Amino acid sequence: MSKDRRTDDPVVLQKALGNFIRAFGLHQPETTPCGQAIPVSEAHALGELAQEGELRQVELSRRLRLQKSTVSRLVGQLSARGWLERVPAPEDGRGVVLRLTSSGRRAAQNLDDARRERFSRLLESIPDQERAGVLHALDVMVEALGE
């Protein structure tokens, strides 16, 4: 099979992505790729909230690209762990924002440390001359998926 034909074959892309998903551990939804025993969706929510300080639930849904009902369950799970609190929005007495508790901030920091370590090792494994291409390919994939 010619190289041109392989790059136009969606099965080739499917297999390549499947291999990446398995190698990176994304097929194990109850454990993060950095090895933490927390669902991936919770880890992403913690990261967004740690980065912003507080968010409205609708904004968290938008950032995570998840349905409102899914984020409602996610917020409930994080609240049950004692990692998240709902507080009145400062600019709107009826609105509510989500904010990490002190234990939620510690959990987010632990995840961030593990993530930084995992990605540092991964980056070191990619030859210097290939890194820009890998990052560009990921950007292209995200853009293509956004359509």
- Res. 5: pLDDT tops 80: no
Q: Report how many helices (DSSP H) and strands (DSSP E) the chain contains, helices first.
A: 7, 3
Q: What is the pLDDT of residue 2?
A: 45
- Tell me the per-residue pLDDT of 80-91, one tens digit each, with 9 for 90 and over: 999 999 988 887
User: What's the pTM value of the predicted model, to 2 decimals?
Assistant: 0.81
- Give the domains, in start order, of the chain with CATH numbers: 42-145 (1.10.10.10)
Half-sphere exposure of 92 (CA within 13 A, CB side): 6
What are the φ and ψ backbone dihedral angles of 87, each rounded to 5 degrees? -130, 155
Q: What is the pLDDT of residue 1?
A: 42
